[in-house]
A = this chain, B = another copy of it.
Amino acid sequence: MKGVILRINLNALIVDITHEIEPQNVLEASRVLGESYRYFPDGTIHICVVDPGVGSSRRPVVLHDGKHYFVGPDNGVFSKVITEADQRLRGYHITESRYFLPEVSSTFHGRDVFAPVAAWLSRWVSCGSFGDLISDFTVIPEEEPKKIDGGVEGKITHTDRFGNLITNISADLIEAEKHELSKDKLAVRVEGKDEAFDLYSFYNEAGEQNKTGALINSEGYLEIFFYRGSAQNKLGINVGAKVTLCSNNSFARQGEA
């Protein structure tokens, strides 16, 4: 893909965001892209090739939110981007094959379609040149945490290379919960585990004691960590496990019951 881009635009500046997305995990890709793209300069073209449906009828698309461009399959990989851009979004169905490589394989559109289209885009070919304006994009709805008695229930959505367990419970939700329960301190509980974990401000605050804790991570989500180790290994928990945020007391009472 990088070779294809540079053959078309030798001045292109290419940056890898990640090659660590779990194979075929469109939702994880959507989330990582959604957390990263705004840190890049305006005008950046983001190519995303998590594409299990390559070769089928899923559409190749170019999106533009007024600042950033996105090139890839319309399979939900741009869910976060599309939801955030809302009315600002313009999207096009890529059909103009003169911008593709001469031979298009049925298994690697990253190389044969997305890379050359992105490269031509970087050379100021307009979005509309690649195909028709469309608006019925594929958006995979994220499962939202739900209100339960005395707290909020979410789940582990993914892990990182440090073994941190990342949930779908956002900082906003935690603040709202603190307010509602009139509590400064909340605790975090994980399905199948007796222990309740305290909420810290940063990893080191749990330090010196081989402790498992929770915090709001740099993307603004509740994350469970094991200080200087892997929470995933320590707790034996995987993606999908239920996570509850509740007041320390309510948990204690449950424990006593």
Contact with B along A216-249 (1 / 0, CB 8 A): 1110000100011110000000000000000000
Contact check: which of B2, B7, B54 meets A202 at CB < 8 Å? Answer: B54
Tell yes or no: A215 within 8 A of B by CB.
Answer: yes
B6 touches A106 (CB 8 A): no
Task: Using CB atoms, name the residue of chain B closest to A160.
Answer: B23
Which B residues touch A36, using CB under 8 A?
3
Q: Which of A8-16, A122-130, A149-157, A181-189 contacts B (4 or more CB under 8 A)?
A: A8-16
A217 CA to B54 CA in the complex, in Å?
11
User: Does the CB pair A55–B204 fall under 8 Å?
Assistant: yes
A13 B6 Cβ-Cβ under 8 A? yes
State whether B204 touches A23 (Cβ < 8 A). no
- A113–B4 alpha-carbon span in the complex (Å): 28
Q: CB-defined interface of A187-213 with B at 8 Å, one 1/0 digit per residue?
A: 000000000000001111101000000
List residues of A whose CB falls within 8 A of some B CB.
Answer: 2-4, 6-7, 10, 13-15, 17, 23-24, 36-37, 39-41, 44, 52-56, 58, 105-108, 111-112, 161-163, 201-205, 207, 215-218, 223, 227-230
